[in-house]
Structure 1
Amino acid sequence: MAETASAETTGAVSGGLRSVLRLEGLALFAGMTLLYFLWGGPWWLYVVLFLSPDLSFLGYLAGAKIGAWTYNVMHSTVIPLGMLTVGFGFAPPLVLSLALIWLAHIGFDRALGYGLKYSTGFGFTHLGKIGKQANG
Protein backbone atom coordinates (compact mmCIF):
# COMPACT_ATOMS: atom_id res chain seq x y z
CA MET A 1 0.00 0.00 0.00
CA ALA A 2 1.43 3.38 -0.99
CA GLU A 3 1.87 5.84 1.83
CA THR A 4 0.63 9.36 1.17
CA ALA A 5 2.54 12.35 2.46
CA SER A 6 0.81 14.22 5.25
CA ALA A 7 1.47 17.65 6.68
CA GLU A 8 3.45 15.98 9.46
CA THR A 9 5.86 14.33 7.00
CA THR A 10 6.19 17.22 4.55
CA GLY A 11 6.51 19.98 7.12
CA ALA A 12 3.65 21.88 5.49
CA VAL A 13 0.80 23.33 7.45
CA SER A 14 -2.72 22.33 6.44
CA GLY A 15 -6.39 22.83 7.19
CA GLY A 16 -7.64 25.73 9.24
CA LEU A 17 -4.14 26.67 10.36
CA ARG A 18 -3.12 27.17 6.73
CA SER A 19 -6.09 29.50 6.30
CA VAL A 20 -5.07 31.48 9.39
CA LEU A 21 -1.52 31.90 8.04
CA ARG A 22 -2.84 33.04 4.67
CA LEU A 23 -5.16 35.54 6.40
CA GLU A 24 -2.14 36.81 8.34
CA GLY A 25 -0.43 37.34 5.00
CA LEU A 26 -3.41 39.29 3.74
CA ALA A 27 -3.39 41.41 6.91
CA LEU A 28 0.34 42.06 6.48
CA PHE A 29 -0.16 43.11 2.86
CA ALA A 30 -3.11 45.39 3.66
CA GLY A 31 -1.49 46.84 6.78
CA MET A 32 1.84 47.64 5.14
CA THR A 33 0.13 49.11 2.09
CA LEU A 34 -2.02 51.30 4.36
CA LEU A 35 1.04 52.39 6.33
CA TYR A 36 2.80 53.19 3.07
CA PHE A 37 -0.18 55.35 2.06
CA LEU A 38 -0.23 57.11 5.45
CA TRP A 39 3.55 57.53 5.36
CA GLY A 40 3.18 59.25 2.01
CA GLY A 41 5.74 57.20 0.16
CA PRO A 42 5.93 57.67 -3.61
CA TRP A 43 3.57 55.25 -5.39
CA TRP A 44 5.88 54.94 -8.38
CA LEU A 45 8.45 53.39 -6.00
CA TYR A 46 5.84 50.98 -4.61
CA VAL A 47 4.87 49.86 -8.12
CA VAL A 48 8.47 49.49 -9.29
CA LEU A 49 9.71 47.58 -6.23
CA PHE A 50 6.67 45.53 -5.20
CA LEU A 51 7.67 42.42 -7.18
CA SER A 52 11.43 42.88 -6.81
CA PRO A 53 11.82 40.23 -4.05
CA ASP A 54 10.73 37.69 -6.68
CA LEU A 55 14.06 38.21 -8.45
CA SER A 56 15.28 35.76 -5.81
CA PHE A 57 13.78 33.06 -8.07
CA LEU A 58 16.98 33.38 -10.08
CA GLY A 59 18.69 31.43 -7.31
CA TYR A 60 16.94 28.34 -8.64
CA LEU A 61 19.25 28.54 -11.67
CA ALA A 62 21.98 27.32 -9.29
CA GLY A 63 19.82 24.46 -7.96
CA ALA A 64 16.98 23.85 -5.53
CA LYS A 65 19.03 24.28 -2.36
CA ILE A 66 20.45 27.69 -3.33
CA GLY A 67 17.13 28.71 -4.86
CA ALA A 68 15.25 27.92 -1.66
CA TRP A 69 17.84 29.78 0.40
CA THR A 70 17.74 32.94 -1.75
CA TYR A 71 13.94 32.87 -1.94
CA ASN A 72 13.62 32.40 1.83
CA VAL A 73 16.05 35.23 2.61
CA MET A 74 14.02 37.59 0.44
CA HIS A 75 10.65 36.30 1.73
CA SER A 76 11.36 36.22 5.45
CA THR A 77 10.15 39.15 7.53
CA VAL A 78 13.36 39.41 9.60
CA ILE A 79 15.34 41.88 7.46
CA PRO A 80 12.45 44.17 6.46
CA LEU A 81 11.20 44.29 10.09
CA GLY A 82 14.68 45.41 11.14
CA MET A 83 14.60 48.02 8.40
CA LEU A 84 11.13 49.12 9.54
CA THR A 85 12.43 49.61 13.08
CA VAL A 86 15.36 51.67 11.84
CA GLY A 87 13.04 53.58 9.52
CA PHE A 88 10.62 54.53 12.26
CA GLY A 89 13.37 55.11 14.81
CA PHE A 90 15.60 57.34 12.72
CA ALA A 91 13.19 58.28 9.91
CA PRO A 92 15.34 57.70 6.81
CA PRO A 93 12.53 57.86 4.21
CA LEU A 94 14.01 55.39 1.73
CA VAL A 95 14.65 52.72 4.37
CA LEU A 96 11.10 53.03 5.68
CA SER A 97 9.63 52.93 2.17
CA LEU A 98 11.67 49.85 1.23
CA ALA A 99 10.68 48.03 4.40
CA LEU A 100 6.96 48.73 3.95
CA ILE A 101 7.01 47.66 0.30
CA TRP A 102 9.02 44.52 1.09
CA LEU A 103 6.68 43.50 3.91
CA ALA A 104 3.64 44.18 1.71
CA HIS A 105 5.11 41.86 -0.93
CA ILE A 106 5.73 39.10 1.62
CA GLY A 107 2.17 39.41 2.90
CA PHE A 108 0.77 39.32 -0.64
CA ASP A 109 2.73 36.15 -1.45
CA ARG A 110 1.65 34.45 1.77
CA ALA A 111 -1.99 35.39 1.17
CA LEU A 112 -1.73 33.67 -2.22
CA GLY A 113 -0.27 30.55 -0.58
CA TYR A 114 3.37 31.04 -1.56
CA GLY A 115 5.22 30.02 1.55
CA LEU A 116 8.86 29.68 2.44
CA LYS A 117 10.54 27.05 0.30
CA TYR A 118 12.03 23.68 1.14
CA SER A 119 15.18 22.62 -0.69
CA THR A 120 13.29 19.73 -2.31
CA GLY A 121 12.03 22.10 -5.00
CA PHE A 122 10.24 25.36 -5.66
CA GLY A 123 6.78 23.82 -5.31
CA PHE A 124 7.34 22.60 -1.74
CA THR A 125 6.52 25.28 0.83
CA HIS A 126 5.64 25.59 4.48
CA LEU A 127 2.10 26.48 3.34
CA GLY A 128 1.80 23.33 1.23
CA LYS A 129 2.57 22.31 -2.31
CA ILE A 130 2.15 24.77 -5.15
CA GLY A 131 2.25 24.52 -8.92
CA LYS A 132 2.73 21.15 -10.59
CA GLN A 133 3.61 19.55 -7.24
CA ALA A 134 0.18 20.47 -5.85
CA ASN A 135 -1.51 18.40 -8.53
CA GLY A 136 0.86 15.46 -8.30
Structure 2
Amino acid sequence: MKKLAIIFYFFSLTLFSQEIKLNVSNFENYIKEVYKDKADQLIFSNPKQLKNKKEILDRIVIINNVENMEEDYLDFETLYIVTTYNKDLSLSFPKRIYPDRFNPFLYKMNIYNDQPVYYYYHKTKQLIKIYPSKY
Protein backbone atom coordinates (compact mmCIF):
# COMPACT_ATOMS: atom_id res chain seq x y z
CA MET A 1 0.00 0.00 0.00
CA LYS A 2 2.84 2.37 0.86
CA LYS A 3 4.46 1.71 -2.53
CA LEU A 4 1.20 2.52 -4.26
CA ALA A 5 0.96 5.85 -2.41
CA ILE A 6 4.52 6.77 -3.40
CA ILE A 7 3.88 5.87 -7.04
CA PHE A 8 0.68 7.94 -7.03
CA TYR A 9 2.53 10.90 -5.48
CA PHE A 10 5.20 10.95 -8.18
CA PHE A 11 2.61 10.37 -10.91
CA SER A 12 0.57 13.34 -9.68
CA LEU A 13 3.66 15.57 -9.66
CA THR A 14 4.28 14.67 -13.27
CA LEU A 15 0.65 15.05 -14.24
CA PHE A 16 0.04 18.41 -12.61
CA SER A 17 3.32 20.11 -13.42
CA GLN A 18 3.63 19.25 -17.08
CA GLU A 19 4.71 21.80 -19.64
CA ILE A 20 1.94 22.90 -21.96
CA LYS A 21 2.88 24.44 -25.30
CA LEU A 22 1.13 27.54 -26.55
CA ASN A 23 -1.41 27.36 -29.35
CA VAL A 24 0.57 28.14 -32.50
CA SER A 25 -2.56 28.16 -34.65
CA ASN A 26 -3.40 31.56 -33.10
CA PHE A 27 -0.08 33.04 -34.21
CA GLU A 28 -1.54 35.39 -36.82
CA ASN A 29 -4.17 36.69 -34.39
CA TYR A 30 -1.54 37.24 -31.70
CA ILE A 31 0.56 39.36 -34.07
CA LYS A 32 -2.43 41.37 -35.30
CA GLU A 33 -3.54 42.03 -31.72
CA VAL A 34 -0.20 43.57 -30.80
CA TYR A 35 0.88 45.22 -34.06
CA LYS A 36 -2.59 46.12 -35.36
CA ASP A 37 -2.36 47.86 -38.77
CA LYS A 38 1.46 47.58 -38.76
CA ALA A 39 1.41 43.75 -38.60
CA ASP A 40 1.82 43.26 -42.37
CA GLN A 41 4.56 45.85 -42.72
CA LEU A 42 6.59 44.85 -39.64
CA ILE A 43 6.06 41.09 -39.37
CA PHE A 44 4.17 39.29 -42.15
CA SER A 45 6.05 40.87 -45.08
CA ASN A 46 9.42 40.44 -43.36
CA PRO A 47 10.51 36.76 -43.56
CA LYS A 48 13.22 37.19 -40.92
CA GLN A 49 10.85 38.79 -38.40
CA LEU A 50 8.14 36.25 -39.19
CA LYS A 51 10.50 33.34 -38.55
CA ASN A 52 11.77 35.02 -35.38
CA LYS A 53 8.27 35.52 -33.94
CA LYS A 54 7.24 31.93 -34.74
CA GLU A 55 10.40 30.64 -33.10
CA ILE A 56 9.61 32.63 -29.96
CA LEU A 57 6.15 31.12 -29.76
CA ASP A 58 7.64 27.61 -30.00
CA ARG A 59 9.96 28.27 -27.04
CA ILE A 60 7.30 29.23 -24.50
CA VAL A 61 5.40 26.79 -22.28
CA ILE A 62 3.00 27.15 -19.36
CA ILE A 63 3.32 25.07 -16.21
CA ASN A 64 0.28 24.88 -13.94
CA ASN A 65 0.07 24.27 -10.20
CA VAL A 66 3.48 25.63 -9.22
CA GLU A 67 3.15 26.10 -5.49
CA ASN A 68 6.33 27.97 -4.65
CA MET A 69 8.09 30.82 -6.34
CA GLU A 70 11.75 30.00 -6.65
CA GLU A 71 14.44 32.63 -6.15
CA ASP A 72 15.31 32.84 -9.85
CA TYR A 73 11.69 33.24 -11.04
CA LEU A 74 10.68 36.66 -12.26
CA ASP A 75 7.32 38.15 -11.33
CA PHE A 76 4.94 38.05 -14.30
CA GLU A 77 2.96 41.03 -13.00
CA THR A 78 6.00 43.31 -13.22
CA LEU A 79 6.10 43.01 -17.01
CA TYR A 80 5.18 45.88 -19.27
CA ILE A 81 2.28 45.40 -21.64
CA VAL A 82 3.36 46.43 -25.14
CA THR A 83 1.03 49.17 -26.40
CA THR A 84 3.35 50.76 -28.96
CA TYR A 85 1.22 49.82 -31.98
CA ASN A 86 -2.12 49.16 -30.32
CA LYS A 87 -3.11 51.81 -27.78
CA ASP A 88 -6.42 50.01 -27.15
CA LEU A 89 -4.81 47.06 -25.37
CA SER A 90 -5.87 46.48 -21.79
CA LEU A 91 -3.19 47.22 -19.25
CA SER A 92 -4.46 44.51 -16.91
CA PHE A 93 -3.23 40.97 -16.50
CA PRO A 94 -5.42 37.95 -17.23
CA LYS A 95 -7.31 36.14 -14.47
CA ARG A 96 -5.59 32.95 -15.58
CA ILE A 97 -3.10 32.00 -18.28
CA TYR A 98 -4.70 29.63 -20.76
CA PRO A 99 -2.11 28.07 -23.09
CA ASP A 100 -4.60 28.00 -25.97
CA ARG A 101 -5.21 31.78 -25.69
CA PHE A 102 -2.09 33.28 -24.09
CA ASN A 103 -0.46 35.89 -26.32
CA PRO A 104 3.18 36.24 -25.24
CA PHE A 105 3.77 39.14 -27.62
CA LEU A 106 1.61 41.36 -25.41
CA TYR A 107 4.33 41.41 -22.74
CA LYS A 108 7.88 42.69 -22.73
CA MET A 109 9.56 39.46 -21.66
CA ASN A 110 13.19 38.42 -21.74
CA ILE A 111 12.97 36.24 -24.84
CA TYR A 112 16.57 36.41 -26.04
CA ASN A 113 18.58 34.36 -23.60
CA ASP A 114 20.97 31.48 -23.34
CA GLN A 115 19.31 29.98 -20.24
CA PRO A 116 15.64 29.25 -19.51
CA VAL A 117 13.73 32.24 -18.13
CA TYR A 118 10.79 31.81 -15.76
CA TYR A 119 7.92 34.18 -14.97
CA TYR A 120 5.77 33.25 -12.00
CA TYR A 121 2.13 34.36 -11.84
CA HIS A 122 1.19 34.59 -8.17
CA LYS A 123 -2.57 34.88 -8.77
CA THR A 124 -2.82 31.52 -10.45
CA LYS A 125 0.33 29.68 -9.35
CA GLN A 126 1.39 29.33 -12.96
CA LEU A 127 4.81 29.52 -14.50
CA ILE A 128 5.74 30.78 -17.94
CA LYS A 129 8.93 29.12 -19.08
CA ILE A 130 10.89 30.51 -22.01
CA TYR A 131 13.48 28.17 -23.43
CA PRO A 132 16.77 29.60 -24.71
CA SER A 133 17.03 30.79 -28.26
CA LYS A 134 18.68 28.35 -30.65
CA TYR A 135 20.17 31.14 -32.72
What TM-score does the superposition give when structure 1 sets the normalisation length?
A: 0.29
User: Which of the two has greater strand per residue?
Assistant: 2
What TM-score does the superposition give when structure 2 sets the normalisation length?
A: 0.29
